[in-house]
Structure 1
Amino acid sequence: MTNRLKFFKEAVKSLKTSGTVTPSSRFLAKRMIAKIDFATTDVVVELGAGNGVITKQILKKLHPKATLVCFEINDNFYKDLLKIKNKQLVVLNTSAEKIEEELAKLGFSEANHIISSLPFTIIPDAISTEILEKAYKVLASKGTFMQYQYSLTYFKKLSKVFSEEIKLEFEPLNFPPAFVYRCIK
């Protein structure tokens, strides 16, 4: 079974947490990480790693002593991520709400960059607010929080947390096309 078909079947079963029925395109994955200076990055966090499309792009760029910490609550996607054999990868089967405590358990006080594929528009408001506030708290100064969405409706919510600077990009070569928010702390 192809990865796309496997993703589709899993996403349909868990649409309330996946938020989409297609995996991110390689174009979206590359756009999400294009502005990261990997030479100076020690810790990258990925929220809602799914089947690992963006994960694999990050791992290609990480310098040898850096770490990628992925959060994924879907058990089948979590199992898929565990199949990616890379000593720099830490995969957690837990909610992004626990970002602060999970990083502390791993010995990290902050993340240089956070890449999020979480479907914030379908996550309850109180939970999404908590995730964003905790992500902001653990993000290093001048670090980025990258989030994609399929509409512009989340700009206001992001700007409440990331008031310093938000840059908006568009990736037409994704299905559906996606808006990419680059929030700078």
Structure 2
Amino acid sequence: MTGSAARPLPGVWRQIREDLDTVVARDPSCSGRREALLHAGWHGLALHRIAHRQYVRGHRLRAALLTRAARVASGMEIHAGARIGRRAFIDHGFGVVIGETAVVGDDVTLYHAVTLGSRGWVRDGRGGERRHPVIGDRVMIGTGASVLGPVTIGDGQRIAAHALVLRDRPAQGTVRGPKQSAGRERSALHG
């Protein structure tokens, strides 16, 4: 992974401005910075950036209060310990959950109701306490998808809506969501 996990991030305010520019660039419904200021995904991410800075400085209560404010403002719960790379884009954001030891690379897109969570108190096999995923650069994770446990998702991976990922995935692939046939949907509607 070549993202933020390997190098320090720019100043928090500069990064928040960069996140705002990312909303303008990547959300087709957003016509400019003023409108982007109302984007819930940006609110949650901006508050997370500030909370994370407090968390790494050892101000855990301040970080927890900012995380709570972000949850109320955006409907997302991002633990202050999670590391999120540059130019992340969280579209809509409501219901997004990102755990404490998660690492998210640069230029990642998350849609609403995505979970980057744990499967309980498991060890990563390398002597650490990592319980959450590491997401590579330029990864797209669709609505309602869950990536659980100390797995690694390679750069450029695409994870479909409602997919459940419990194993490492290589770079440049696609994880499909649950299979639904049009015939089953039709019979459920008319049956």
- Scaled by the length of structure 2, the TM-score of the pair is 0.31
Give 1 or 2 for the bigger CA radius of gyration: 2
Q: Which has the higher contact order (CA 8 A, sep 6+)?
A: 1
- The structure with the greater share of residues assigned to strand is 1
